[in-house]
Structures are given as C-alpha cells and as structure tokens.
Amino acid sequence: MTNKNELGGRFTFPGTDLEVNRMGYGAMQLAGPGVFGPPKDEKAAIEVLREAIESGVDHIDTSDYYGPHFTNQVIKKALHPYPENLVIVTKLGARRPEDGSWQPAFSAEELTSGLHDNLRNLGLDAIDIVNFRVMGDPRGHGTAEGSIAEQIEVLAGLKEQGLIRNIGISNATPTQIAEARTITDIVCVQNNYNLVHREDDKLIDDLAAKGIAYVPFFPLGGFSPLQSSTLNEVASGMDATPMQVALAWLLHRSPNILLIPGTSSVAHLRENLSAAQLSLSEATLEQLEGIYSSASAAHQ
C-alpha cells in the first residue's frame, strides 16, 4: 500500500482551510464506456474508491454528467458518510443527452439544476469546490475565447446561498480566468496539460505565484496515451512504468499542480499513487524536457 505521507506533499487551496495531498483521484472512468451509462462492474468501482481513501487520497474529482448520475451515485454508495478530510470537487457546464454526446449546459437553470443533481447524488448539503467547465472548441477538448461572466455569476450566487463553498474553472483561457477572478475568488484551474501538451506552461507559473491550484486533465494523454521512446527509456531505468514517470514529472513541474489520474482498477490505482514516490534527477528531467522539444519540432 502507498505510504499516506508520500502522495506528492500537501497543498492548501487559496483562501480556504481545504488541504489535500497533491495526488488525488479522478472518478470519470468509473462510468460506462464513453463515460456513459453505469459502471461495467459496480463492485469493482466501489473497491477502487475505498482503496483510494485507504491509501491516503483525500481529493476526488467528479461530475454528475459522468454517466450521467451513475459516477456520483457509486461514490456515495462507496464512501458516504464521507471522511471528514475528503475534498470533493465537481463540475458544471455540460449535459449528456440519450445519444451520449457532450452538450453545453450554460444557462442559469441548467447550472442550478446540475448543482442540485450533484448534491442529491453525492448526498451532500454543499460541495467543497465546483468548477465551471467551459465547452470551448466544439471539435475537441481545446479552449476557445468568449465571455463566461454570466455563468460565473450564477455560480457566485449559488456560493452566496451556501450550496457551493469554493469556485474553480475548467478548460479555460487566461483571459477567461482573469474575467472570472473579477467576479469571485477562483481556487483552482483544470485544463488539458501533460508532458507533451504544454500550452499552459506560462499560465501554470502565473497561477503558482497567486497560490491557485492547477489540475491537469488528461495527465497521461487522455484518449491518445502518451507515446515516447525517451519516456519508455527513462521508465525502464527507474524500474517504473512510463505513465508513472509522466505523473511524477507533473508533480515536479510546479508545487501548485494537483493530480487526479483516473482508473477503474485497484492495481492501476496503486500504480498511479506510487508515482508520487518517484524522485526525478536533474538529468532525468532534462531528458523528459527533450520529449516536448521533439514533439514541438515535429508539429512545426
């Protein structure tokens, strides 16, 4: 079992008393294929969640549109009543119609009903952190500019009602983050970032200076897993897996980075959490930097 004290160190969300281990758990993969429908094995999903908590995970990322509803329902079944130190983070801004597609849910009514779905299915009176998920580039998971003031104001109103304790933002540009911060405090940003996908390098450093958490989604490449002979070579030399090294690199990248790798397997969960114990030398970090340089050159 992973040492509870070695999950990447501790991080406190700005302006809050919420302190978490930097290695957490993302619940997206607990839903069915395509993040749609019930878990293929609910008993296994419950085992993964309980193992995560037993291993020291105190930060779970979820959303009620995973499934929809099923992921939060299995979290409640596995863990409620929740440990006192568990921070649950969810997100609003999308809906899943019967065809399994991902559609924006940006109106005040949709955001409010989405929050109440999260509260009901998680069995909570208030949620620690709610991210507004910007549905940016319709062709994929990229960002796109455009005002999000209206949606952030809705979340700020729900915060005033005591239903949301803190607000974050996901899939957002620096301009949108700055706009959101003029309306309410933003405690975390959740964007696509990994060893190869590094458009947010400057943003991460800017947020670190403000003490704001940066939570990469697709830390291992998402639907197209990271592929690199250099990564494989480094991992082999460390008696680790390439994905463990990729996660360890993220923890080394900046102290405000929090990880939420997801899995529906206990064995894979243990493997992910063990990445927090890997130490990367300066020479290794230099080798890994070369992966991004090569990938950038290939796309030019």
What is the distance between the alpha carbons of residues 266 and 44, in angstroms, rounded to a whole number?
A: 8
Would you say 92 and 155 are in contact if contact means Cβ atoms under 8 Å apart? yes
Would you say 171 and 148 are in contact if contact means Cβ atoms under 8 Å apart? no
Task: Give CA separation, 65 vs 106, 108, 113, 125, 285, in Å.
Answer: 13, 16, 12, 19, 37
What is the distance between the alpha carbons of residues 38 and 291, in angstroms, rounded to a whole number?
A: 37
User: Mind spelling out the 3-state secondary structure of 125-193?
Assistant: CCEEEEEEECCCCCCCCCCCCCCCHHHHHHHHHHHHCCCEEEEEEECCCHHHHHHHHCCCCEEEEEEEC
Q: Quickly list DSSP for 103-127.
A: EE--SHHHHHHHHHHHHHHHT-SSE
What is the distance between the alpha carbons of residues 49 and 275, in angstroms, rounded to a whole number?
A: 18
- Under DSSP, the state recorded for 16 is S
Q: Identify whether 66 is a catalytic site residue.
A: yes
What is the distance between the alpha carbons of residues 275 and 241, in angstroms, rounded to a whole number?
A: 9
178: number of Cβ within 10 Å:
12
Rg of the chain on CA atoms, in Å: 18
Q: Which of 65, 66, 193, 214 is catalytic?
A: 66
What is the distance between the alpha carbons of residues 164 and 127, in angstroms, rounded to a whole number?
A: 5
Q: Quickly list DSSP for 221-251.
A: -TTS----HHHHHHHHHTTS-HHHHHHHHHH
Instruction: Give the residue carrying structure tokens 């480094």.
Output: 234
User: Would you please indicate which residues are annotated as catalytic (active-site) residues?
Assistant: 66
